[in-house]
Amino acid sequence: MTDTSPLLAAENLVRHFPTGKGQIVHAVNDVSLSIAPGETLALVGESGCGKSTLGRMIMALDRPDKGSVRLLGKDLARMGRRELHSARRSVQMIFQDPSASLDPRWSAEAIVREPLDNYRIGTPAERRDRVLYLLEKVGLRPDQAKRFPHELSGGQRQRLGIARALATRPRLIVADEPVSALDVSIRAQVINLLCDLRDEMELSLLFISHDIGVVSHISDRIAVMYLGRIVEEGETATVLNAPQHPYTAGLLESVPRPRPSQRRQRAPLEGDPPSPITLPSGCAFRPRCPIAVDLCSHSVPPLAATVPGRRTACHRAGETTLQETSHV
């Protein structure tokens, strides 16, 4: 492996779910992304845009209908059971709901120990030490090791979830909305902890979130999803300060700002996101798009590079400056 090869690469992933009534939910439609070692990629989008399904496929918890997920160059779908088991060691997950993702009948100690036992890491005595080390690393006291999840606060539970995810020394962590269930005054603690651990352990991070504020803090790159597709991707600061896709622009405009003196005059985007069951023809964003043209209704815009390191899926990308249109 050279430094340039990605840690994880997903290519042309497609995942459709049949509903009970013979309809199809188009959860993920042709998504490609890659994460370099040590990089943090944020996956941003609203509910139902397919970001969690994408996370599950990357975790090998769900199989794509089409496309491949390659971890260190190896296709997850082509792995045997044993190979997949050992591959899982290097990709771990942090969940949204810290209470539901911890078995209520297991103590903190047992929860962090589970992955160590599964991969037979060290001797039993070493595992005990490593559990205490991990708990300390995430800011839990040794006397909390015997506690059960319901005896911990929400923030402490999420710390415990992080300790479990770090136990196998993974290379990549998929964090699915890791702070959105936490109290506001606790979020900063957990975000800082994640950043510190990432830097210290040289982890890659796939950070799935709908919170632009958190994302702007934590990520190197950002991929914006809308109805199962990535519509814009690039370096976080550039995308957030100069969005090229009208959805990204509308999304950013919609985020309430902590500046009472700079109130918006109106809601930036009209309408609801359409259902992933009956996708609109052409560009999925067309019905809500303020700058849609004829072309948009019959051809799906490809996610194309506009400038190096930046991809946008819009027929009109680069034609207009979006800041102007969204303020009109």
Partner 1 sequence: MTAQQPFLSLRNLSVGFGPQGAIRAVRDVSFDLEAGKTLCLVGESGSGKSVTATSIMGLHKPGSAVVTADRLRLDGRDLLSCDEAQLSGLRGSLMAMIFQDPMSSLNPALTIGFQLREALQLHEKVSRKAADARVLEILQWVRIPDAARRMNAYPHQLSGGMRQRIMIAMALICRPRLLIADEPTTALDVTVQAQILWLLSELQREFGTAIIFITHDLGVVAEIADDVAVMYAGTLVERGSVHDIFERPSHGYTAGLLRATAEFVPGEESLGRLEEIPGNVPSFSMLPKGCSFVDRCRFAAPSCHERTPDWRQVAEGHDTRCDQPIDDARAASALRETMI
Partner 2 sequence: MTMSPSKTFAAMRSARPGLAVSLSLFALAVVILMAIFGPIVLGSGNGLNPLMRLKPPSALAWFGTDNLGRDVFVRTISGARNSVMVGLSTAVVVLLIGGTLGVLAGYFKWVDRVVMRLADGLMAIPGILLAIALVSVLGGGLVTIIIAISVPEIPRTARLMRSVVLSIRELPFITAAVSVGSSTPKILLRHVVPNAIGMLSVQATYVCAAAILSEAALSFLGVGTPPDVPSWGNVIASGKEYFRLAPWIIAFPGVILSIMVLSINIIGDRLRDRFDPRLAARKAS
Assess 168 for contact with partner 2 (CB under 8 A): yes
Query: How far is CA 269 from its chain centroid?
Result: 23
- The residue (of 138 and 212) whose beta carbon lies closer to partner 2 is 138
Q: Whole-number minimum distance, CB 182 to partner 2, in Å?
A: 14
Assess 89 for contact with partner 2 (CB under 8 A): yes
Alpha carbons within 13 angstroms on the beta-carbon side of residue 201 total: 24
Taking the CB of residue 312, how many other CB atoms lie within 10 A of it?
27
- The residue (of 30 and 97) whose beta carbon lies closer to partner 2 is 97
**From CA 155, how far away is CA 140, in angstroms rounded?**
10
3-state DSSP helix/strand/coil % of the chain, to nearest 5? 35, 20, 45
**From CA 104, how far away is CA 308, in angstroms rounded?**
48
Assess 254 for contact with partner 1 (CB under 8 A): yes
Q: Whole-number minimum distance, CB 202 to partner 1, in Å?
A: 18
- The SS3 assignment for 169 reads coil
Residue 174 in tokens: 């998929």
Assess 207 for contact with partner 2 (CB under 8 A): no
Assess 57 for contact with partner 2 (CB under 8 A): no
Q: Which of partner 1, partner 2, none does residue 47 bind to, with CB < 5 to 8 Å depending on kind? A: partner 1
Stretch that binds partner 1, among 9-17, 21-29, 162-170, 256-264 (CB under 8 A): 256-264
Assess 314 for contact with partner 1 (CB under 8 A): no
Assess 217 for contact with partner 1 (CB under 8 A): yes
Assess 63 for contact with partner 2 (CB under 8 A): no
Q: Which of partner 2, partner 1, none does residue 184 bind to, with CB < 5 to 8 Å depending on kind? A: partner 1
Q: Single out the residue of 281, 216, 228 nearest to residue 252, CA to CA.
A: 216
Q: Single out the residue of 90, 28, 39, 89 nearest to residue 63, CA to CA.
A: 28
Assess 259 for contact with partner 1 (CB under 8 A): yes
Assess 115 for contact with partner 2 (CB under 8 A): yes
Cα R_g (the chain), whole angstroms: 21
Q: Which residue has tokens 């996956």?
A: 43
Beta-strand ranges (E) seen in the chain are: 8-18, 24-35, 40-44, 66-71, 74-75, 91-94, 172-176, 204-209, 221-226, 229-235, 304-307, 310-312
Assess 276 for contact with partner 1 (CB under 8 A): no
Q: Which of partner 1, partner 2, none does residue 19 bind to, with CB < 5 to 8 Å depending on kind? A: none
Under rule CB under 8 A, how many of the chain's residues touch partner 1?
47
**From CA 238, how far away is CA 295, in angstroms rounded?**
27
Q: Which of partner 2, partner 1, none does residue 14 bind to, with CB < 5 to 8 Å depending on kind? A: none
- The residue (of 71 and 102) whose beta carbon lies closer to partner 1 is 102
- The residue (of 61 and 188) whose beta carbon lies closer to partner 2 is 61
Q: Which of partner 2, partner 1, none does residue 118 bind to, with CB < 5 to 8 Å depending on kind? A: partner 2
Assess 171 for contact with partner 2 (CB under 8 A): no
Q: Whole-number minimum distance, CB 172 to partner 2, in Å?
A: 12
Q: Single out the residue of 85, 135, 139 nearest to residue 110, CA to CA.
A: 135
**From CA 68, how far away is CA 78, in angstroms rounded?**
9
Residues numbered 143 to 172 that lie near partner 1 (CB under 8 A) are: 153, 155-156
Taking the CB of residue 287, how many other CB atoms lie within 10 A of it?
16
Assess 61 for contact with partner 2 (CB under 8 A): yes
Residues in touch with partner 1 (CB under 8 A): 46-47, 153, 155-156, 183-189, 191-192, 195, 210-217, 237, 240-241, 250-261, 263-264, 266-270, 272-273
